[in-house]
Structure 1
Amino acid sequence: MNDRSHPVLIVGTGRGNEAAILNAALDAFGAEGFNGASMRDVAKRAGTSLSNLYNYFPSKSDLLAEVLRHANDELSARVRRAVADAGDDAAPRLREAVRAYVGFVVDHQLAMTVSTNEVRYLRGESRERLTAARDATQSLVAEIVADGAADGTFATPHPADAARAILSMVGAIAAWYRPDGRLSRGQLAEQHARYALALLEAPLPH
């Protein structure tokens, strides 16, 4: 497999070299797009044969669906852990959710980009499953915003719209982030957490 500058997203799956194949597919989709990448290209990047690749995944769509599932699972796990550790108050829960989300985008920029740009190529049941899983992940932020609006922590009169704006803002980082930029990973996460709280008309931490 080719060396990559981003951390490996799919660490292991319990099926031989399936993890290598999925990470190779992520690389291929990131470099060539879904239409431009071929199964032969994925096999070459994974260091396996084309016939072995088809033993694991019968189609390129199956590969894409599995790559995107892993990406959402990792994002969801990070956000859920951060929120669980933040206590009961809406403001710190929102702050940590955003920080965790930004951390995922920075750590797995390629996966976020592929998830955003290539999901349109999924069809049928695969798309429905992924959409449901993504909605569940995004609802973590929406629920925190709704809770904070209900108890007066957040003064915005438009909590649902604000939650969507926060998610869009954080997701867009994948399009412009550069590791050699002026902000560190932590500074970028903190900056966007402050943006989110300001958008919600919440008291900012000192």
Structure 2
Amino acid sequence: MVNAEKSRPGSGLPSTTLTLPGDEPTAAALITAAVEVMGTHGYHGTSVRDIAAAAGTSPAILYHHFGSKQVLLATLLDRGLDMLIAATEQALDLAGDDPADRLRAIVEAHVRVHLEAQRESFLGNSELRALEPGWRRVVVAKRDVQQRIFDRVVRDGVRRGVFAAPHAEDAARFVTAACTSVAAWYRPGGPLGPDEIIRRHQEIALDAVRYHR
């Protein structure tokens, strides 16, 4: 008798944060497989057949659910940014009125997503260039939404005299770039745990905006 769990599409693959509760199971398996295979070999080093095989299905099924490898990649990047924006907005909503607390909150949210969804974040950052222009505009627009959250928090802190950065938006971009980079270098089990990495990035962010302590 065939074990039902082993025969389920995508069984045996590491889970991903990019599947949603309402996903059809085979579509979810293809998303999971795409994160694993593209994360290892890159978009151009991965074929439709590679993804389908990892998901335990066929290329025809992938085309049925997503239409192309390009649409599948766009889905991954789009969902990743939706997750990041939602986490950051929620953190900001709960942070209160103090500019320093607001900056600490969005830094924590941004860094934590990039640590907990490291493969997904690294894929989103490294494979944006593989998107065709139409899809790239959609994803870049969402990246801009995330950046504008940081811009607003820093500008508000400068306006209120809590931060002294002479170039607020440059400082905000510096902070988001530093927070994003953790997906490229973080190693689970390394000398720094997630909470310490977040704390250090909060301090770096406050230094970058010249916080008056």
Same structural fold, with TM-score higher than 0.5 when normalized by the shorter chain: yes
How far the C-alpha of 1:25 sits from its partner, in A, is 0.8
2:127 match: secondary structure: helix
Give the Cα–Cα distance (whole angstroms) in 2 for the partners of residues 57 and 83 of structure 1.
Answer: 34
Whether 1:80 aligns to 2:89 is: yes
1:17 match: secondary structure: helix
Give the number of the structure whose alpha-carbon radius of gyration is greater: 2
Whether 1:154 aligns to 2:201 is: no
Unaligned runs of 5+ in 1: none
Whether 1:3 aligns to 2:17 is: no
How far the C-alpha of 1:47 sits from its partner, in A, is 1.8
- Aligned 8 A contact 1:24 1:43 in 2: yes
Whether 1:106 aligns to 2:110 is: no
Query: Does the C-alpha gap of structure 1 residues 57 and 7 become closer, same or farther in structure 2, counting only changes over 3 Å?
Result: closer
2:43 match: secondary structure: helix
Paired amino acid for 2:13: D
- Aligned 8 A contact 2:35 2:123 in 1: yes
TM-score between the two structures when normalised by the length of structure 1: 0.93
In the alignment, which of 182, 199, 203 is matched to residue 190 of structure 1?
199
CA root-mean-square deviation: 1.4
Q: How does 1:168-179 map to 2 (within 5 A)?
A: 168-179=177-188
Query: Does the C-alpha gap of structure 1 residues 127 and 7 become closer, same or farther in structure 2, counting only changes over 3 Å?
Result: closer
**What's the counterpart of residue 67 of structure 2?**
58
Deviations 1:66-98 (A, max 9, x none): 000111011111111111000122110110100
TM-score between the two structures when normalised by the length of structure 2: 0.90
How far the C-alpha of 1:41 sits from its partner, in A, is 0.9
- Aligned 8 A contact 1:86 1:96 in 2: yes
Identity over the aligned pairs, expressed in percent?
35
Deviations 1:143-177 (A, max 9, x none): 10011111111011111110010011111111110
**What's the counterpart of residue 69 of structure 1?**
78
Give the Cα–Cα distance (whole angstroms) in 2 for the partners of residues 22 and 9 of structure 1.
Answer: 7
Structure 1's consecutive aligned runs of 4 or more residues displaced over 4 angstroms after TM superposition are none
Residues matched between the structures, number: 203
- Aligned 8 A contact 1:156 1:201 in 2: yes
Whether 1:29 aligns to 2:38 is: yes
**What's the counterpart of residue 122 of structure 1?**
131
- Aligned 8 A contact 2:30 2:51 in 1: yes
**What's the counterpart of residue 143 of structure 1?**
152
